[in-house]
Each structure stands twice: as structure tokens, then as C-alpha cells.
Amino acid sequence: MSQERNKDKHFAALVLARGGSKGIPLKNIKPLAGLPLIAWCLRALIDSGEFDSVWVSTDHDEIEAISIEWGAQVFRRSAITSADKATSIAAVIEFAKFHPEIDYIGQVQCTSPCLHPFHVAGPCKMIREDGFDSVFAVTRRHGFRWQEVHGDQPTVPLNLDPKNRPRRQDWDGELIENGAFYFGTRELLLSGLFQGGKVGYFEMQAEYSVDIDTDIDWPIAEQRVLKFGYFGKTKPQGIQLVVLGADGVLTDNQVHITSTGEEFRSFNYSDTVGIQLLQKKGVEVKIIAEGHSSILEKHAKRLGVDIRLGCEDKMVQLDAWRKEKTLEWTQVAYMGNDIPDMSAIKRSGIGGAPGDAHHDVVTIANFVCKHPGGRGAVREFCDHVILVMEKAKSAIEQEEAAKKTLF
């Protein structure tokens, strides 16, 4: 690609996310491995640093709110392009016409949650520097195809010579569109085409090629994203400080009073094990509470963690602890369940919430547990933090290895 083509060109990423999904209602924001589905691709797009703007095209208020929380701009699509039979290219054309300042558009599939920044860096380079007009995602498959027939008609092979049937290791396979993304110039897209002009493809390895269309796909995608998903710009040394809210996180947010006026609360043993696992990894765990409770104080002592009772501003206290340990925010994880926790959740590298947390907290948290507070949510959060730590340790090696296969 010439330098003239590069100069002052606006490259936008666009995620199409209408609210009327039939297979899985509101699947674009359904939690997948603790995050709204759309968050997985938005995080990768934004962290890539490749785009001048990142957009979500939607007709739904809740999808809009979550998209904004994850750093995207929102384009409110029309009823026509939000209809069940509307095509993706029609939605892209509508967006392009409303934004004449945009020169290149990378349309990214919301239902491809294993997208990484390096997956979009390749296509952007191909369009910006190598002169391609369109680039789309493919994956390699080793499947023998046969012609479909009806009745008693014989079938014939389409990509196979039965007399010379190759072993898998002796056959390169075929490149198949996986639908993860379609990048193109403004002119090409406005002509109604995703592929045209100088066409190129970008191969995604099979482990990253995940698509979600039906309920059957969901548990498979969840397992895949936990292993191969992009977990953000966590530092290689990982999380060093985990702070947990007390009521509604460690407890079920209920206070029980006996007939004699004594107060008691219950704690989940699985949560205790989760905290101990973090401690064995060298992570410091602290508890924070708005009120005063001798029961919480005794529980913290039993766990071997510090507790701050009567905390009026949790964000201020969290920042003080962070500075004491000279940590960056990416090395801090926080879990809370209500409005007073929101600033701390948003600021932390990993901000978690129990499954029964306040709606506004669930919207802004980047990990939402399946379990409610006091019922295993802390264990789930601890497991997630450990997973992110393990991913962080291998993140550099993983990206470098991937780059070697691409460039």
C-alpha cells in the first residue's frame, strides 16, 4: 500500500449487535465466562490500538449501555437494518453512509469471543500497507466433502480422490470462512460487497475459531474462551492484590438475629478455599466493609487477611492499599456487589461481582459470577483471578509465537 493511501485515513472497527436474536435471546450481552459476550471482542479491538474508533451498531438500550462501558461508541441502527431478515452488509452500509469520515471498516463478529489483538493487527496491516481492498478471516479444516444427492442417485467426492485418500498429516486441508471478521475499504462496502478488489485472507488457528449460534454452542464456547480467550493487558507478573467486599460478597447479604438478640452470619467454605489458593500463589487478600461487625473481624482473622471496617469510601481505601504496595491498577482485583463498590470495580484490573449483585454493578463489572454472594461467588472469582494470572504469564510467549506464524 502506498503512503498516500495511508495518509489521514480513518480505520473504524464495527461490531453488529442487534437486540432481536432469535436463537439465543439477547445473546450479544449474555454472560460468557463472566463477561457479556460482546465484551470479549470489544476488549481485543480496543487493546489492539489499530483503530481510530471502535463502534457497536445496535437497536437495544442495554446493549448500548454495556458497549459504552467497555469503551465503544454506539451507532443506533434503524428498524430496517435491525429486522430478522436484514443482512449484515445492509447494516454496514447504513453505518458508512452516516459516517463519511471513515475510510476503512473492520466488521467484527460479536459471536467470535476468542479474538485477540494480533488477529486484527494482521488484516489492518494488509489494508493499510499491502494494498488489499478486502481481508476476511478463515480457518483451516481437514474435511472430505461429498456432493449432496437425493433418492437413489450416487454421490461423488468434491475434494477427494478415494483411490489416493491422504492421511491428515499429508494434506494441508482447506481454508474456510469462519465469519470472525470482514475488513474492507469504504468504496467496496458501499458497493454491497464484503470481498472484492484485491482480496486477501487472514488465517486464524482452529482454537481461536469459535462461533456461537445456538444454545448447544454456548458451553463449548465458554470452555474454549477460558483457555484461548483474550484476558486484557494484565501485566506478566499478574494480580498481586485482591480486595473483597464483605456483605453481599463473602456473605449472602443477610443478618440473622437469634431470640436472645445475638447476631450471626454464615460463610461459604468453598470461598475460604478460594482465598487460600490465592494466598498460596503469593496474592495478598484484604476485606473491606462499610459497617462494623465483630463476626467479620473474627472471620478475617481466621482467614489470615486484613480487614477495614467502617469504610465510608472504598475507592479511597483501595487506592491507599495499592499505593502501599506500589502496584499498578492492572495488578489489583476487586469484588463488590452494590453502588458503593462501583468506582473500585471500574478502576481495578479485574472488577468482579456476584451473580446477584445490583444491576448497575453487573453492567460495569468485567467478571460476573454465576453464583450469588455468600454461596460460592468468591471461590469463582478467585479461580478466575488465578486463571488470568496463568494467562498473563504466558501472554507474551503466546503472542510472539502467533506473530511468527503470521508475518
Give the integer Cα–Cα distance in Å for 326 and 329: 10
Read off the DSSP letter of residue 181.
E
* 165 assigned to active site: yes
What are the angstrom distances between the C-alpha of 226 and each of 143, 223, 232, 238, 397? 26, 5, 13, 16, 18
Residue 111 has pLDDT above 80, yes or no: yes
pLDDT at residue 226, as a whole number? 80
The answer to whether the beta carbons of residues 70 and 60 sit under 8 Å apart is no
> Which residues lie across from 74 on neighbouring strands?
56
Quote the pLDDT of residue 213. 78
Out of 76, 145, 165, 302, pick the active-site residue: 165
pLDDT at residue 397, rounded to an integer:
59
| The one-letter amino acid at 253 | N
d(CA 220, CA 211): 10
Q: In this structure, are residues 189 and 88 in contact, taking their beta carbons and an 8 Å threshold?
A: no
Residue 342 · residue 358 · CB < 8 Å: no
- pLDDT classification of 149: cutoffs 50, 70, 90: very high
pLDDT of residue 4: 47
DSSP string covering 33-64: TTEEHHHHHHHHHHHH---SEEEEEES-HHHH
Distance CA 286, CA 327 (A): 15
pLDDT digits (tens, 9 = 90+) for 248-262: 999 887 777 766 767
Q: How far apart are CA 139 and CA 204, in angstroms?
A: 5
Confidence tier at 23 by pLDDT (50, 70, 90): low
Looking at residue 388, its pLDDT comes to 81
Least confident of 38-47, 52-61, 219-228, 230-239: 230-239
Query: pLDDT exceeding 70 applies to what percent of the chain?
Result: 92
